[in-house]
């Protein structure tokens, strides 16, 4: 493996007036949405060739506080963005021909900062889950005319930090028969494999817990299905891995307790098992920065040098990017023995 790779690229100048809290690429990876403490959301085209320079971006104004997260909807619903903010609001933005980006919706049911927004897999229709510091989780289900129904329920005491949807198709469901207890989406006549799809997501909270929520068609409500205990401090982020054809489900969680846990569920009925990423394995790197080496050496096994803020899966779900408070992004892969290895270390 090549030792130090230098990634030489012309950075996109966002012209945000304050720190960026989140950046998300759209479905095609061709547009970048960023949000900042400057209370705006910006959208840029990421142009190929020209060393990924950009055309000037669009600025979306409407929030009255720092904007924490942005999320792109599936393109079959159009060019739609959701953003959430310290102001307690979730705004829905749509780009329309000739009109540019306009605010088409405002969700104001939360009473405190909304920390995370996440669109459901497109097979489930246009649905958005939101996590708030008021301890509640809300799920918006959009109708064709752009209006929505909102389900809102208590999620985590003290506050909810993040939400992430499960893949719409249960792993392994194409090969193994579906058990009747699975919450399923009634056939809507268009998407294939409807009977196999499931409305489910995970949430991360200030109660150190990760919870799994499933929708029950019979009672038309969200039910807490499982609680994952393992972190000893606030859970900062949760990311459910895309379905990569394995019978198994994966969830990655990042916490204030300086750990990243990978939760694995072998099949629909098996319990979740957890394993912590071990950053000390990254020491094998011959060129790991001195700061990394010292910091890791001082940290106990299975712990990162600092709070872990974000976890993000690659498209195929085989690579996990971990953003740690120590100024590094590390990339992790599961090896053939089922152990997680650090494969890359990205320095600022």
Partner 1 sequence: MGAQNINLLPPLVESGQFEQLVQSGQTISATTSPYDNSLAVFLSPTTVSGSNSNSDREEPVYFASYDVVPSSERRLFIADTQVIFSMFHGMLESAKSREPSWIQTPEALELMRKFSVDYVNFIKECWIHASQPMPRTDGPLQFSADHYRSLYSCFSLFVVLYLPEPGYEDAPVGEDLMEWLNIHFIEPSTEEGDHLSSLDRPWEDEEFWPYLKRVTLRGLTKASLFFFNTLLQHPSEDLQDLVRTIIPIVESQPRLQNFSAERDFAFASRKWKDKVKAIRIEMDRVPEESRFDDFENWWDSLSDIVGILEGRNPVIQRVCEELGADWKEVCSAWGIFVDSRLRRQDLVDVAAEVLEIMPADPTNLEDMIHSALFSGKPEQALRYASQLDAWLSAHFADVMEPLGLLETDENSESELSKRDEYVLSYAEYLHSDPTQWKITIAYMYSCGDIGRERGDEILVRVPLRLHPSEAPSTPEEAIAQAVKEVSEVCFNYQREAVRRTVCRIAAQTCVRQKDYGLAVSYCISAEDWVSLGRVIDSILDEYVHNGAAEFAKQASKIAPSVQELQSRTVSEAIFVHRLIFAVRYSQIHKYKLEQDFVSAASDIVTLLREEIAPKSWWPVLLCDSVELLQYGSTLLFASSDAAELLSKLEEISIRASQGSGDDYLSVLTRTIKGGGEKEALERLKVVRLALARYFARCTIGSDRHALST
Q: Are 235 and 204 in contact (CB under 8 A)?
A: yes
Residue 338 makes contact with partner 1 by CB under 8 A: yes
Please tell me whether residue 16 binds partner 1 under the rule CB under 8 A. yes
Cα 311 to Cα 118, 247, 260, 279, distances in angstroms: 14, 22, 8, 14
Stretch that binds partner 1, among 148-156, 176-184, 220-228, 330-338 (CB under 8 A): 330-338
Judging by DSSP bridges, how do beta strands 249-255 and 235-240 pair with one another? antiparallel
Q: Residue 71: CA atoms inside 13 Å, Cβ hemisphere, count?
A: 26
Site string for partner 1, 70-89 (x = CB under 8 A): ----xxxxxx------x---
Stretch that binds partner 1, among 217-225, 270-278, 296-304, 336-344 (CB under 8 A): 336-344
User: Which parts of 257-276 interact with partner 1 (CB under 8 A)?
Assistant: none
**Positive/negative CA dihedral, 213, 70, 232, 272:** positive
Cβ closer to partner 1: 154 or 188?
188
Q: Is 233 in the site for partner 1 (CB under 8 A)?
A: no
Q: What is the DSSP string of 218-271?
A: TTTEEEEEEEEE--SS-EEEEEEPP--S-S-EEEEEEETTS-EEEEEESSTTSP
Q: Is 12 in the site for partner 1 (CB under 8 A)?
A: yes
Interacting residues with partner 1 between 105 and 144 (CB under 8 A): 122, 144
Contact 138, 110 (CB under 8 A): yes
Please report whether residue 244 would count as binding partner 1 according to CB under 8 A.
yes
Tell me the two tokens of residue 152.
């809102």
**How many residues form the binding site for partner 1 (CB under 8 A)?**
103
Binding segment toward partner 1, per CB under 8 A, in 30-38, 201-209, 222-230, 268-276: 30-38
Residue (225 or 306) nearer to partner 1, CB: 306
- Residue 34 is a binding residue for partner 1 (CB under 8 A): yes
Q: Is 11 among the residues that bind partner 1 (CB under 8 A)?
A: yes
Task: Select the span of 11-19, 102-110, 225-233, 270-278 touching partner 1 (CB under 8 A).
Answer: 11-19
- Among 151, 225, 226, 345, which residue sits at the site for partner 1 (rule: CB under 8 A)? 345
Least Å distance between CB 57 and partner 1? 10
> Cα–Cα distance between 271 and 248 in angstroms, integer?
11
Comparison of 37 and 182: residue with beta carbon closer to partner 1:
37
Shortest CA distance to 92 belongs to which of 133, 124, 140, 58? 140
Residue 127 burial class via C-beta count within 10 angstroms: exposed 0-12, middle 13-18, buried 19 and up: buried
CB 311 within 8 A of CB 237: yes
Q: Does position 223 bind partner 1 by CB under 8 A? A: no
The answer to whether the beta carbons of residues 216 and 224 sit under 8 Å apart is no
Q: Over the range 82-106, which residues count as b (16 or more CB within 10 Å of their CB) and which as e?
A: bbbbbbbbbbbbbbeeeeebeeebe
Q: Which of 177, 186, 286, 300 binds partner 1 (CB under 8 A)?
A: 286
Q: Residues 224, 245, 268, 293: which binds partner 1 (CB under 8 A)?
A: 245
Q: Of 114, 192, 270, 302, which one interacts with partner 1 (CB under 8 A)?
A: 192
Q: Give the nearer residue to partner 1 in terms of CB position, either 270 or 316.
A: 316
């Amino acid at each position: 493996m090549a030792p130090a790779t230098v990634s030489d690229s012309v950075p996109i100048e966002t012209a945000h007036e304050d720190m960026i809290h989140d950046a998300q690429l759209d479905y095609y990876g061709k547009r970048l949405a960023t949000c900042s403490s400057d209370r705006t959301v910006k959208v840029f085209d990421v142009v190929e060739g020209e060393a990924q320079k950009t055309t000037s971006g669009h600025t979306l104004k409407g929030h009255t506080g720092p904007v924490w997260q942005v999320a792109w909807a599936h393109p079959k619903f159009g060019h739609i963005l959701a953003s959430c903010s310290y102001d307690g609001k979730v705004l829905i933005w749509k780009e329309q021909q000739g009109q540019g980006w306009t605010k088409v919706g405002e969700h104001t049911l939360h009473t405190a900062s909304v920390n995370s927004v996440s669109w459901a897999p497109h097979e489930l229709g246009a649905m958005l889950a939101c996590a708030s510091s008021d301890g509640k989780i809300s799920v918006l289900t959009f109708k064709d005319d752009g209006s929505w129904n909102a389900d809102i329920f208590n999620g985590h005491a003290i506050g909810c930090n993040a939400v992430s949807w499960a893949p719409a198709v249960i792993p392994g469901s194409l090969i193994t028969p579906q058990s009747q207890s699975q919450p399923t989406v009634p056939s809507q006549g268009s998407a294939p494999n409807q009977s196999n799809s499931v409305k489910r997501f995970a949430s991360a909270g200030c109660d150190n817990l990760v919870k799994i929520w499933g929708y029950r068609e019979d009672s038309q409500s969200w039910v807490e299905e499982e609680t994952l205990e393992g972190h000893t401090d606030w859970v900062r982020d949760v990311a459910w891995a895309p379905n990569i054809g394995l019978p198994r489900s994966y969830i990655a969680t990042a916490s204030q307790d300086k750990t990243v846990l990978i939760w694995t569920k072998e099949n629909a009925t098996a319990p979740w098992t957890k394993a912590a990423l071990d950053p000390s394995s990254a020491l094998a790197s011959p060129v790991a920065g001195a700061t990394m080496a010292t910091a890791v050496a001082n940290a106990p096994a299975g712990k990162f040098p600092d709070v872990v803020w974000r976890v993000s899966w690659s498209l195929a779900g085989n690579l996990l990017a971990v953003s740690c408070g120590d100024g590094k992004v590390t990339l992790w892969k599961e090896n053939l023995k089922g152990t997680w290895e650090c494969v890359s270390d990205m320095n600022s």
